[in-house]
Structure 1
């Protein structure tokens, strides 16, 4: 897409289109302060779509803009790891996870995701506290998406279009198509850091990953939030 527009910020979109997805969102947002419910919702729905976007790319047409190409580059690297015969044996499972984690960490800006998720709470935190939150929140998201990598069941991803905005922001729109032909729109939100375009949010059918977490996190004290994050990360997978 030619030209640059003002960045739209964190727009609140409409919820998921399928009945099951809508029900999960509704139940999650009705439970104030229940962090475990938002974890369950994202693990079952939103995160799974995100992983499919990164891992299950097809050779579908797309615009050749820099943000799109960098998303595609990450996709190709993950595909190579997931399909590598040498990493198929069970004893190679941990090595595979480490390699996937390294690739995804190169594309996701966990600090920016954390800042936007904490919102006003972020400004009141010390640098030590911020670093702790980024580590815990990043670990939680990593664990969730790594658990979904093996869940591929034939979904395809089509790259649709790209939009550039003032201030070094961009959006890349893709569409997931499952075996039944159901289409799920997904939007990557990116910010340019040096020569890299890093993901700071993903929206599934208008439902923002950052906004979903933010709504839950703002309903509890920071101390309680950190306590629950530590407990969640400490759990065995």
Structure 2
């Protein structure tokens, strides 16, 4: 996938940190992305002996604002309604593990890229924050965050990188696998990926 080549873009997956009810969508994104940058830029945290602590802080930041259940449901699209409550619960858990762990390493590749917030658009309970990433070589990439208001705070349910939606990308992959091989095949693949990620 195109955006896999740009590690800094995975900071988009780290919208974690404290969520404030009165914060605007942009303020929420900026404050939490700043927290992730702080973690990956901390010299003490970069030491090998602190790897586990660093990963835990990153996962905490990532999980604080991402609505994994919403992302999982949108990624499954029409196939979601066919799942039992137990299946939905397991799928959300596997999806969360996939996102949290797959991109922790990418986020750690942060190399002083600059994030510029362009504008935000609010439409009722939904919002989009547009930004761009400028690398040290002055290359630029668009990075947009889609959020929805739940419980008085903004939660991220999608990230669009260079016009590519994370949720839409997964939706296409999941749909193809379910249609061609069945839901059990998707579950098996996600379980395998989860174990692979957890392995040292």
Report the TM-score range of the alignment, normalised by the length of the smaller protein.
0.7 to 0.9
Deviates more, 1:68-77 or 1:105-114: 68-77
The 10-residue stretch of structure 1 (154-163 or 143-152) with the greater mean CA deviation from structure 2: 143-152
Residue aligning to 1:225:
186
- Could you list the runs of 5+ residues in structure 2 that have no partner in the other structure? 16-22
CA RMSD, 1 decimal = 2.1
Q: Does 1:121 align with 2:79?
A: yes
Aligned positions of 1:80-159 closer than 5 A: 80-159=38-117
Aligned residues: 188
Provide the rounded CA distance (Å) in 2 between the counterparts of 1:229 and 1:141.
Answer: 11
Q: Is the 8 A contact 1:114 1:134 kept in 2?
A: yes
Residue of structure 2 equivalent to 1:162: 120
Match of 2:157 in 1: 200
TM-score if structure 2 supplies the norm length?
0.86
Contact 1:53 1:157 in 2 (8 A): no
Cα distance, 1:193–1:86 mapped onto 2, change above 3 Å:
same
Greater relative CO (CA pairs within 8 A, separation 6+) = 1
Structure 1 stretch displaced more, 150-159 or 104-113: 150-159
| Separation (CA, whole Å) in 1 of partners of 2:86 and 2:6 | 30
| Aligned residue number for residue 34 of structure 1 | none
Match of 2:20 in 1: none
SS of the equivalent of 2:119 reads strand
* 1:191 correspondence with 2:148: yes
Supply the distance in 2 between the matched residues of 1:53 and 1:144 (Cα, whole angstroms): 10
For the pair 1:172 / 2:129, whether they are aligned, the reply is yes
The superposition leaves residues 112-161 of structure 1 with CA deviations (integer Å, 9 ceiling, x where unpaired) of 00000000111111111111011111111111110112212232110000
Shift, 1:45, TM fit: 3.5
- Kindly tell me: are residues 81 and 152 of structure 1, through their superposed partners in 2, closer, same or farther at Cα, counting changes over 3 Å? closer
Task: Tell me which residue corresponds to 1:51.
Answer: 11
